[in-house]
Chain A
Amino acid sequence: MKLTSKSFIALAALATMMVTTTSYAAEPAERNMGKVIAKMYLAANDLPPTILPSEVSPAPVETPAQEVKAVAKDLVLKGDAKCTACHDEADSPKVLAISQTRHGVNADGRTPTCTSCHGESIAHLGYKGSAKPPKPDFVFGKNTATPAAERNQACLSCHEKDSKRHLWTGSKHASNDVACSSCHQIHTAHDKVRDKRTQPEVCFTCHKEQRAQEHKISHHPIGEGKVACSDCHNVHGSAGPKLLKKNTLNETCFTCHAEKRGPFLWEHQPVSEDCSNCHTPHGSNITPLLKSRAPFMCSECHNGPHNSKVPVAGDAAGIQGGLSVPPSESYVGRGCLNCHSMVHGSNHPAGALLHR
């Protein structure tokens, strides 16, 4: 390249700068030098200004001088600009995570916006004082002053009609002021209570007795992530006892333990009556989830002589009916299940005594 006199002057000036200038810029000195050389050369040769490759930033970083005046735009939901003007990623990124949930699907016409749940909140939006602004109309946090019924209404206005939630009103949870937001997190991609592996953590927050039982030797594999509370319970309201999914306890148990359902040729009455006559659902130290150990459990009802025609004798109602006579000595130390292995019922022609 042939150096012109202008170019030579430019390079001379550059050399002087290198000696006298201390760089305070954030970029390394050698990168700045490259730019300076190129600019000075272009200027000296009266060439048109060109964008140098090194000036093209790899990522568009907004420098203060280039800041564009903020125009409130919707960030996630339709019409959310009035809220996200303040509650954006700089303030509370977690709020915007609603975009990762079904409540953030704008293509769905049913998708709500901020004010659908939090109310129009005119006092909150219009506040111009120097203290903390008033809260929005409906707040769902832990220490909120919004009553549970009002909070729930925000959800139920859409979710009440589906078959799993239509019995919410009057349910045990509803009547105890449990709110949807007590268990659910709306502004998060991973709602813990909707994941089988993490759901028990949420339920056990209140149901501590069940948490303790779940740690006993014999238990449903809840902690192991195989069974969740919602496999048996419909926490949003049910027609059955204890918010069970089905109308009765047995019906609920039989959804998994179908082989116990029957019908049997030879039934064991307490089995078809109520599984919880013998079993406890959340945990026991007597396998399999038994309330008591044989022969004591069996002798609660079977307290007549072992070989009699009426082994249940006078205590057919079991321990719940109140024991009237002491258990027969003939049961002491026996392993009932060694012979009566088909305690849930038998279809064998000779299975009257549930032996086979």
Chain B
Amino acid sequence: MKKQIIAGIVITLAAAVMTPAYADVDEVAAKSLAKKSDCFKCHAVDKTKKGPSYKKIAIKYKGKADAESVLVKQITTGPKVKLEDGSEESHKIIDSQDQGAIKNLVGWILSL
């Protein structure tokens, strides 16, 4: 019995550790901000448009410590980006000043 209780505790702790860091993102709010900022004009969740899909971006930055800061910089400063067709243009700047909302959007992308 004692062993079973310990096993249960271990399993619970393991599950907590393995839970993704972005599990608490507000998907609806993230999508809403993306829609408002015209992100979906160039990106889709799982389809390459002018820009890479969000899933592709999530894979690219998976496990990287600076993923969030890189993506936040990308969508707030509007650097030159190379499109899928090889041409270049400035990345659109997110239509929000709310850092929480921006980080939520980035978190949602990374959670895909």
The answer to whether B59 and A64 have CB atoms under 8 Å apart is yes
Closest B-chain residue to A131, C-beta based?
B93
Query: A26 → chain B, closest Cβ, in Å?
Result: 12
Contact partner of B92 among A68, A85, A130, CB < 8 A? A130
Q: List 14 A-B contacts (CB under 8 A).
A: A22-B14, A68-B48, A69-B84, A85-B50, A86-B41, A90-B44, A90-B45, A90-B49, A91-B41, A128-B88, A128-B89, A129-B89, A130-B93, A131-B92
The answer to whether A67 and B41 have CB atoms under 8 Å apart is no
Contacts of A70 in B (CB 8 A): 47-50, 84-85
B46 interface residue (CB < 8 Å to A): yes
Contacts of A90 in B (CB 8 A): 40, 43-45, 47, 49
Query: B17 → chain A, closest Cβ, in Å?
Result: 10
The answer to whether A67 and B38 have CB atoms under 8 Å apart is no
* CA gap between A231 and B88 in the complex, in Å: 56
* CA gap between A65 and B56 in the complex, in Å: 7
Contacts of A61 in B (CB 8 A): 46
Q: A24-B18, A130-B93 are in contact. Are A67 and B48 (CB under 8 A)?
A: yes
Query: B47 → chain A, closest Cβ, in Å?
Result: 6
Contacts of B38 in A (CB 8 A): 91, 132
Q: What 6 A-B pairs have minimum CB-CB distances, sorted nearest first?
A: A130-B78, A128-B89, A90-B44, A130-B90, A86-B41, A91-B40
A356 interface residue (CB < 8 Å to B): no
A62 interface residue (CB < 8 Å to B): yes
Query: B11 → chain A, closest Cβ, in Å?
Result: 11
A residues with a Cβ closer than 8 A to B are: 22, 24, 61-65, 67-70, 85-88, 90-92, 128-132
Q: A130-B78, A132-B38 are in contact. Are A86 and B93 (CB under 8 A)?
A: no
Contacts of B88 in A (CB 8 A): 128
* CA gap between A90 and B43 in the complex, in Å: 8
Closest B-chain residue to A130, C-beta based?
B78
* CA gap between A131 and B50 in the complex, in Å: 16
Query: Which residues between 74 and 99 of chain B lie within 8 Å of chain A, taking CB atoms?
Result: 78, 84-85, 88-93
B residues with a Cβ closer than 8 A to A are: 14, 18, 38, 40-50, 52-53, 55-56, 58-59, 78, 84-85, 88-93
The answer to whether A87 and B41 have CB atoms under 8 Å apart is yes
The answer to whether B42 and A130 have CB atoms under 8 Å apart is no
Query: B90 → chain A, closest Cβ, in Å?
Result: 4
The answer to whether B55 and A88 have CB atoms under 8 Å apart is no
Closest B-chain residue to A132, C-beta based?
B38
Which interface residue of A24, A70, A132 has the most chain B CB atoms within 10 A? A70
* CA gap between A351 and B58 in the complex, in Å: 89
* CA gap between A86 and B47 in the complex, in Å: 12
Contact partner of A62 among B46, B52, B58, CB < 8 A? B46
Q: A64-B53, A130-B78, A131-B93 are in contact. Are A69 and B48 (CB under 8 A)?
A: yes
The answer to whether A85 and B55 have CB atoms under 8 Å apart is no
Contact partner of A67 among B14, B18, B53, CB < 8 A? B53
Contacts of A130 in B (CB 8 A): 78, 90-93
* CA gap between A186 and B34 in the complex, in Å: 25
Closest A-chain residue to B77, C-beta based?
A130
* CA gap between A7 and B60 in the complex, in Å: 37
* CA gap between A65 and B59 in the complex, in Å: 9
Contacts of B41 in A (CB 8 A): 86-87, 91
The answer to whether B49 and A64 have CB atoms under 8 Å apart is no
Contacts of A85 in B (CB 8 A): 49-50
* CA gap between A85 and B42 in the complex, in Å: 8
Query: A92 → chain B, closest Cβ, in Å?
Result: 8
* CA gap between A130 and B41 in the complex, in Å: 13
* CA gap between A90 and B18 in the complex, in Å: 31
Query: A127 → chain B, closest Cβ, in Å?
Result: 8
Query: A59 → chain B, closest Cβ, in Å?
Result: 13
* CA gap between A91 and B38 in the complex, in Å: 8
Query: B25 → chain A, closest Cβ, in Å?
Result: 18
Which interface residue of B38, B47, B55 has the most chain A CB atoms within 10 A? B47
* CA gap between A292 and B44 in the complex, in Å: 64
The answer to whether B44 and A88 have CB atoms under 8 Å apart is yes
